[in-house]
Amino acid sequence: MSEIKVEQFPVKLETEKHLKYLKELNNHQDELEYWLTEALRLNGIYWGVTAACILKHPEIYDFKEMTKFILSCQNEDGGFGGCTDHDSHLLYTLSAIQVLVICDTLSEVDKDKVVEYVSKLQNPDGSFSGDEWGEVDTRFSYCALSCLKMLHRLDAVDVPKAVEYIKKCMNFDGGFGSIESAESHSGQIFCCVGALAIVDRLDVVDADKLGWWLAERQLPNGGLNGRPEKLEDVCYSWWVLSSLSIIDRIHWINKEKLINFILSCQDADTGGFSDRPGDMVDVFHTLFGVTGLSLLGYPNLDKIDPVYCMPVSAIERLNIKTRTYNQI
């Protein structure tokens, strides 16, 4: 594969600006938006710290403070809420474990309680509910299996049943939806393919059929959409590319065109990435802009693991990686 060079592109990655943006995320406590997003605080921390790691400057955050906050979000039931005193949900529990792994402070959490919380959410058909209220979604299968794998406790759930459920969510086009019979969507495909990779069951996937569907997500402007007839969005640079990487088809995308699109979604003044050029930036799209570039082999970025969406170095420390994934 040809090496990507910064000079190939009319716009360069504004690394310093992005780091400044990420560092100052917590300085907006006088703004309504800061409090409207309180319920997602734990996800936001995971998005920010992972982006900072991939930009090679994790030190912009205080890992000790971060760990203290994460631990304050764990509830009696063993799960984590999106903020201190918020109800537990698998979405936040995964972010909590991811951040603790990145900070190398996983030893500070009561792991048995986390395992108990996660395993209780598996249903008899193998699916997972997101919380005690019972909504089922393949996102939650991914969250549960990723958490348990990082805790070295996959034995706490019925893995063959979990795979059976994911198989039921596979569609005629090779993709996966949020539940049985739901339309294929690349966000859900990441969850299902990632979950299958975690339990070493990628044999379930029809890689050529799925790879074809995923490659068709690239639009003439280079950006990727999440499903047919929809608009491009920087976040699909992650959901689509990581899935292609896991099934060894990442080279089916035109990488130069996608890099150009991702770089056009940066705000060169404030730092950060938006979904499409000219829109407001946010930390969610900033993570997926940066991780997309990393998967595409853009220079001076750390490597991201396509299955866990975490720095490869953090996953290696856990000793759970099953194989090496090719970046472009």
Name which of 7 and 227 has its Cβ closer to ligand GRG.
227
Name which of 256 and 279 has its Cβ closer to ligand GRG.
279
* Residue of this chain nearest to ligand GRG (CB atom): 187
Name which of 224 and 263 has its Cβ closer to ligand GRG.
224
CB atoms within 10 A of CB 261: 23
Residue 176 phi/psi, 5-degree rounding, is -135, 150
Q: Report how far apart the first and last C-alpha atoms of the chain are (Å, whole number).
A: 7
Are the C-beta atoms of 164 and 126 separated by less than 8 Å?
yes
Closest separation between CB of residue 235 and ligand GRG, Å?
Answer: 5
Angle between helices 41-54 and 15-23 (to 10 degrees): 150
Name which of 8 and 221 has its Cβ closer to ligand GRG.
221
Closest separation between CB of residue 17 and ligand GRG, Å?
Answer: 23
The per-residue b/e assignment along 115-131, b for 16 or more CB within 10 angstroms, e otherwise, is bebbbebbeeebbbbbb
Name which of 18 and 139 has its Cβ closer to ligand GRG.
139
Closest separation between CB of residue 254 and ligand GRG, Å?
Answer: 20
What radius of gyration do the chain's Cα atoms show? 19
Closest separation between CB of residue 12 and ligand GRG, Å?
Answer: 26
Closest separation between CB of residue 13 and ligand GRG, Å?
Answer: 20
Furthest CA-CA distance within the chain? 54
Tokens of residue 290, six digits: 């940066």
Interface contacts to ligand GRG, rule CB under 6 A: 91, 94, 139, 142-143, 187-188, 190-191, 226-227, 230, 233, 235, 239, 309
